A and B are shown apart, each in its own frame.
Chain A
Amino acid sequence: MLSTLHSPRSLSRFPLHLTSSVKPRAASASSLSDYPPSPPLPVAQSPGGAPASQILTIRRSLLSGSVTATQLAESYLSRLRLTEPQLNSFIHVSDSVLKSAQEIDDKIAKGGGEALGPLAGVMVGVKDNICTVDMPSTGGSRILENYRPPFDATAVKRLKEKGGIVVGKTNLDEFGMGSTTEGSGFQVTANPWDLGRVPGGSSGGSASAVSARQCVVSLGSDTGGSVRQPASFCGVVGLKPTYGRVSRFGLMAYASSLDVIGCLGTSVADVGIFLNAISGHDKFDATSSKQEVPDFESLFASINLLESKPLSGLKVGLIRETLDDGVDSGVKSAINAAVLHMQELGCIVNEVSLSSFSLGLPAYYILASSESSSNLSRYDGVRYGKQTVSDELNALYADSRASGFGPEVKMRILMGTYALSAGYYDAYYKRAQQVRTLIRESFKTALDSNDILISPAAPSVAYEMGEKKNDPLSMYAGDIMTVNVNLAGLPALVVPCGFVEGGPSGLPVGLQMIGAAFHEEKLLKIGHLFEQTLQGCRFVPPLVADDPTWE
């Protein structure tokens, strides 16, 4: 029997709340009318489990002088040192964290507290496929071992300008290609909820680091679900912004038309504040949008948690195809409970069908592989990165790439090269583009009649290490929930919504909320209310919950 809603640890630490009166449903629970009408939520007292914004707490503490940025940095660094040997979230840890923290303290000491940026003193993990000027940036690939870019990615530049401190570079599947982070050329990252499981991928290091409170927030990248699936696996909040919302300048391209830099954090508010800091048009990325970036922070302040039905009348479409066979029953149960919770908040939840949904996965793998085969051509050993000694040009190319790239990357380059070859282009690339258009249209239709769409973030909870290693097709199938969103270029927020039994204290499940293009604000508002009113779930992994330095 599954304990879908709560981890055993949460059970032991916090009083169980009554929302668990909903019994786990069988796999066929497709009709929402099966659910009994839910009792109003007792939201008056925010329960201890609701995550508070670390960013806002840090800012308040710094301004009040109750803690210094250096003390904060030291506490995160000491936890990092403690947990990192088991987790391996980071490929590189910065040696200038304390120096940056000291600069913030100096500023405060000089009375410049008012001028502190919104991310002052916030420890940020940066996925290693995002360029940083003062640290190696490898993309998780041996071909870029020890490569140091001469510039910061725009997202990194912006977060630094706002006071954020980059803790280090987080592990990932090589160039973002994978769903377990086992595809890293350097190390395997563990899931803080169960060290024998993967953190998901490809932003596994970023999710694991945030989950284990090695940093406050982190940057990930999401081409087919690489922020959202690891957020789900690690029990953190993950946001994939609208394509073009965040500049891709400095993100090592995997599939340029799908790649988005995303945010991970332990609360929706943190993710929203972080997104605001890194968003906006960038003259160095022609695909970055000129859409105005709303101030998400004021949004969280204005949300009234005391209202009994704060989301009254909000139309939510549950994507029917995401609860088909192939989705773990525990995940389905958690999602069904989340649906119930949303109804309790006043949402009107209806099932919607996206007829082209199942076509997304093959279309995605063709398009992403095609673009990656081109994007990875620059890693040729001529100008930078790994170069094998050769006395002939073709051997230089072949040997450098053969020894620099890992097997998954090679496979995708081969697939993509094939799909773009003369005579196959129409059958593969062109058809996949047509499917993409269909998917975009079907999302548009669904979002015309719904405020948001919801689905699981992944069909299962975190895999055991090695489980998918020799079964790429099954790993690819795990991306079914997320790839369609990238093809449509829409924003999606993953919020932890429950647990499935497993590991020492249960394994988290994430709920994916999909919005219309550039409607991140709506997703963040709903996500925040959902998270703040979710009862009895505390998404702090055992690794940290046991650590007395946390909170």
Chain B
Amino acid sequence: MASTLFRNVIQAQPLFLNSSALLRKMNGVLYCTMKSTSHSHTQTATEERQQQQQQKSPQKIKVPPQKQMNEVSRIGADYEAVIGIETHVQLSTLTKAFCSCPYSYGAQPNTCICPVCMGLPGALPVLNSKVIECAVKLALALNCRLSFSSKFDRKQYFYPDLPKGYQISQFDIPIATGGSIDLDLPLEFGGGHRRFGITRIHMEEDAGKLMHSGNGSYSQVDLNRAGVPLLEIVSEPDMRTGIEASEYAAELQRVVRYLGVSNGNMQEGSLRCDVNVSIRPIGQPEFGTKVEIKNLNSFSSINRAIDFEISRQVNLHSQGQQDSIVQETRLWEEGAQKTVTMRKKEGLADYRYFPEPDLPEVVLTKDYVDSVGKSLPELPEAKRRRYEEMGLSMQDVLFLANDIAVADFFDATIQKGADVKLAANWIMGDIAAYLKNEKLSIIDIKLVPHELAELIASIKSGTISGKIGKEILFELLAKGGTVKGLIEEKDLVQITDLGDIEKMVDKVIAENPKQLEQYRSGKTKLQGYFAGQVMKASKGKANPGILNKLLVEKLNAKV
């Protein structure tokens, strides 16, 4: 209540509270500027890849994945890359981490703010318990050890997008440590199962955004994002190639989407990856100098940026210039497809962490953790293993488990007794194609799993033909309804009665004496014509096997 009141008061003021909240752009680049995308559909890694493979735009410099792999593996003969990733996942809680402001991406600047997330004097943070729930869910999903007592700390630095002059984060006692994540590499990258370590997960708040004026003479602050809850997931330095790293990120995206804790959308910045890359000669136990790469807005940019960076470092190293690999933050430039220096590290930043005195300790009880554990859905890895056991190919497994909505649809379909392989084929074939054409998600279609199962059963039992089945499918996708209803309504039941089909065959033969003559004089190709006519007469419902059998008999009958 009160916070609503606050917000009204603030909104009554001009957009930017302090007309002089304009300041000169300081750093040449700001890595966190994410462009808004016009359509809301969010890409998964697989979709992203598929799109790339289809795009054959010659003007863009794009290294085909296979070639890139070869190059990296050639270099990999002498050197090994060591890659770790820090991922920030923006939680899709209804309200921010420490105040009751709702957050919606793309809202007008400074409309989702209150005294707390603006850092007004006297305002205090109060933790949104949903943040803890999300953290515990992810920690359990990533097989982490939970800290039954953790705390918040203040990470202090000055920047105009940080209203309080400190970020509420977790420092020495994160909520979770020591986990792992399992994934299957895509087949086009050679496939294979991987397990990467998770160092820690901690809760923190997001900062606002700076918006720089066109000519760069001033900047404005949008605090809508300030205080939005984040989980930071730090991986162990277990990855060795760009594709491993991008698949790690893709699997994290799947996990957070399965859990429903985040939309995991990279374009909107709901999933942000900062990557650390170093190389070392094979056999050397010490790590090389690590370089951080930022501005990775898609899975493929993670992949390509890392492979570029590995090549860059290996080239320097192999030319004896390893001293020019310095600890720095580099920026991935999508246009030029390369990394460039953003800032050199000047010693270790001192964030003067200390325990946040405004928030009590975060205490978890075993009962709470157990209850959250029980609420977890089947996770991508478990799903993939289950699908594999059902006898599906890895191609099918990866496709179906990629998107939880698709997986749910598939699971519901087979639960209704549908044949596993047939269900997979329908979903991956005609349904996927339809979704793609119509730019829809599987949750938007009118077809329900129960009816897909019914459809598959009707074809299998011979009630309808496969061809009619497809027609019904598109009807169901677009308009809904039931398989039974459509079959009845349109009188689509397959005709398998010998007598009925025989009558139709006889009629067609009788009506086409010329063609019959031609056939009998050796133009046997005309069988197709007769079959077509019979099928037409049956409105497509005649069982093709019976039809053809009878037709051949009749056509070849001795007169």
Q: Which residues of A contact B (CB under 8 A)?
A: 130-131, 133, 137, 139, 144, 147, 149-151, 153, 248-253, 255-257, 283-287, 370-371, 373-374, 376-380, 382-384, 387, 389-394, 396-397, 417, 420-422, 425, 429
Q: Which of B124, B160, B164, B165 meets A285, CB within 8 Å? A: B124
What are the interface flags for B132-166 relative to A under an 8 Å C-beta threshold, 1 for contact and 0 otherwise?
00000000000000000000001010101001111
Please tell me if the beta carbons of B26 and A392 are within 8 angstroms of each other in the complex: yes
Interface of chain B residues 77 through 134 with chain A (CB within 8 A) = 115, 118-127
Compute how far the CA of A376 lies from the CA of B156 in the bound complex, rounded to whole angstroms.
11
Please tell me if the beta carbons of B18 and A383 are within 8 angstroms of each other in the complex: yes
Contact residues in A for B154 (Cβ distance below 8 Å): 374
Q: Which of B20, B123, B164, B221 meets A387, CB within 8 Å? A: B20
Q: Interface-forming stretch among B44-52, B287-295, B357-365?
A: B357-365
Q: Which of B18, B122, B125 meets A251, CB within 8 Å? A: B122
Q: Report the minimal beta-carbon distance from B351 to chain A, rounded to whole angstroms.
A: 9
Q: Which of A285, A390, A429 meets B126, CB within 8 Å? A: A285
Q: Report the minimal beta-carbon distance from B361 to chain A, rounded to whole angstroms.
A: 11
Q: Which residue of A lies closest to B165 (CB)?
A: A377
Given contacts A150-B9, A393-B23, A393-B24, 16 further A-B contacts (CB under 8 A): A151-B6, A249-B123, A253-B122, A256-B357, A287-B124, A377-B166, A379-B121, A380-B160, A382-B23, A382-B163, A383-B118, A390-B23, A392-B24, A394-B26, A397-B158, A417-B352
Given A374-B354, A377-B166, A383-B163: A252 in contact with B24 (beta carbons within 8 A)? no
Compute how far the CA of A131 lies from the CA of B120 in the bound complex, rounded to whole angstroms.
10
Q: Which of B9, B165, B352, B358 meets A420, CB within 8 Å? A: B352
Compute how far the CA of A255 lies from the CA of B354 in the bound complex, rounded to whole angstroms.
13
Contact residues in A for B125 (Cβ distance below 8 Å): 286
Q: Which of A144, A151, A421, A425 meets B2, CB within 8 Å? A: A151
A-B contact pairs, 27 of them (CB 8 A): A149-B120, A150-B6, A150-B9, A151-B2, A151-B5, A151-B6, A151-B122, A249-B124, A250-B123, A256-B358, A285-B124, A286-B126, A286-B358, A286-B359, A373-B352, A374-B166, A374-B352, A378-B121, A380-B160, A382-B160, A383-B118, A383-B163, A389-B20, A396-B23, A397-B158, A422-B352, A425-B354
Compute how far the CA of A252 lies from the CA of B115 in the bound complex, rounded to whole angstroms.
12
Please tell me if the beta carbons of A130 and B221 are within 8 angstroms of each other in the complex: no
Compute how far the CA of A253 lies from the CA of B116 in the bound complex, rounded to whole angstroms.
13
Compute how far the CA of A389 lies from the CA of B26 in the bound complex, rounded to whole angstroms.
15
Q: Report the minimal beta-carbon distance from B114 to chain A, rounded to whole angstroms.
A: 9
Q: Which residue of B lies closest to A417 (CB)?
A: B352
Contact residues in B for A130 (Cβ distance below 8 Å): 122
Majority SS at the chain A contact face: loop
Q: Does B348 contact A (CB under 8 A)?
A: yes
Compute how far the CA of A130 lies from the CA of B121 in the bound complex, rounded to whole angstroms.
9
Please tell me if the beta carbons of A151 and B352 are within 8 angstroms of each other in the complex: no
Contact residues in A for B122 (Cβ distance below 8 Å): 130-131, 137, 149, 151, 153, 248-253
Q: Does B376 contact A (CB under 8 A)?
A: no
Q: Which of B6, B223, B350, B360 meets A286, CB within 8 Å? A: B360
Compute how far the CA of A134 lies from the CA of B479 in the bound complex, rounded to whole angstroms.
59
Tell me how many residue pairs across A and B have CB atoms closer than 8 Å.
Answer: 134
Contact residues in B for A131 (Cβ distance below 8 Å): 121-122
Q: Does B316 contact A (CB under 8 A)?
A: no
Most buried by B among A248, A257, A285, A383: A383
Please tell me if the beta carbons of A286 and B127 are within 8 angstroms of each other in the complex: yes
Contact residues in A for B221 (Cβ distance below 8 Å): 382-383
Contact residues in B for A394 (Cβ distance below 8 Å): 26
Q: Report the minimal beta-carbon distance from A124 to chain B, rounded to whole angstroms.
A: 17
Which 3 residue pairs of A and B lie closest in terms of their CB atoms, listed nearest first? A377-B165, A257-B357, A256-B357
Q: Report the minimal beta-carbon distance from B277 to chain A, rounded to whole angstroms.
A: 26
Q: Does B422 contact A (CB under 8 A)?
A: no
Given A378-B119, A393-B24, A420-B354: A151 in contact with B9 (beta carbons within 8 A)? yes
Contact residues in A for B160 (Cβ distance below 8 Å): 380, 382, 393
Please tell me if the beta carbons of B17 and A384 are within 8 angstroms of each other in the complex: yes
Compute how far the CA of A267 lies from the CA of B256 in the bound complex, rounded to whole angstroms.
59
Contact residues in B for A377 (Cβ distance below 8 Å): 156, 158, 164-166
Given A147-B121, A151-B9: A284 in contact with B24 (beta carbons within 8 A)? no
Compute how far the CA of A131 lies from the CA of B350 in the bound complex, rounded to whole angstroms.
32
Q: Report the minimal beta-carbon distance from A299 to chain B, rounded to whole angstroms.
A: 30
Q: Does B10 contact A (CB under 8 A)?
A: yes
Q: Which residue of B lies closest to A285 (CB)?
A: B124
Q: Does B340 contact A (CB under 8 A)?
A: no
Compute how far the CA of A380 lies from the CA of B358 in the bound complex, rounded to whole angstroms.
20
Please tell me if the beta carbons of B24 and A139 are within 8 angstroms of each other in the complex: no
Contact residues in A for B352 (Cβ distance below 8 Å): 373-374, 417, 420-422, 425
Q: Which residue of B lies closest to A433 (CB)?
A: B355
Q: Which residue of A lies closest to B348 (CB)?
A: A422
Contact residues in A for B18 (Cβ distance below 8 Å): 382-384, 387
Contact residues in B for A257 (Cβ distance below 8 Å): 357
Compute how far the CA of A502 lies from the CA of B125 in the bound complex, rounded to whole angstroms.
47
Q: Which residue of A lies closest to B20 (CB)?
A: A387
Q: Report the minimal beta-carbon distance from B24 to chain A, rounded to whole angstroms.
A: 5
Compute how far the CA of A253 lies from the CA of B221 in the bound complex, rounded to whole angstroms.
24
What are the interface flags for B312-355 relative to A under an 8 Å C-beta threshold, 1 for contact and 0 otherwise?
00000000000000000000000000000000000010101110
Please tell me if the beta carbons of A378 and B158 are within 8 angstroms of each other in the complex: no
Q: Does B21 contact A (CB under 8 A)?
A: yes
Q: Report the minimal beta-carbon distance from A436 to chain B, rounded to whole angstroms.
A: 12
Given A384-B17, A396-B23: A284 in contact with B126 (beta carbons within 8 A)? yes
Contact residues in B for A392 (Cβ distance below 8 Å): 24, 26
Contact residues in A for B357 (Cβ distance below 8 Å): 255-257, 287, 371
Please tell me if the beta carbons of B9 and A252 are within 8 angstroms of each other in the complex: no
Q: Report the minimal beta-carbon distance from B11 to chain A, rounded to whole angstroms.
A: 10
Please tell me if the beta carbons of B158 and A380 are within 8 angstroms of each other in the complex: yes
Compute how far the CA of A392 lies from the CA of B17 in the bound complex, rounded to whole angstroms.
20
Please tell me if the beta carbons of A374 and B124 are within 8 angstroms of each other in the complex: no
What are the interface flags for B1-42 relative to A under an 8 Å C-beta threshold, 1 for contact and 0 otherwise?
010011001100000011011011010000000000000000
Please tell me if the beta carbons of B165 and A378 are within 8 angstroms of each other in the complex: yes
Compute how far the CA of A376 lies from the CA of B121 in the bound complex, rounded to whole angstroms.
9
Contact residues in A for B123 (Cβ distance below 8 Å): 249-250
Q: Which residue of B lies closest to A376 (CB)?
A: B165
Compute how far the CA of A248 lies from the CA of B125 in the bound complex, rounded to whole angstroms.
11
Q: Which residue of A lies closest to B27 (CB)?
A: A393
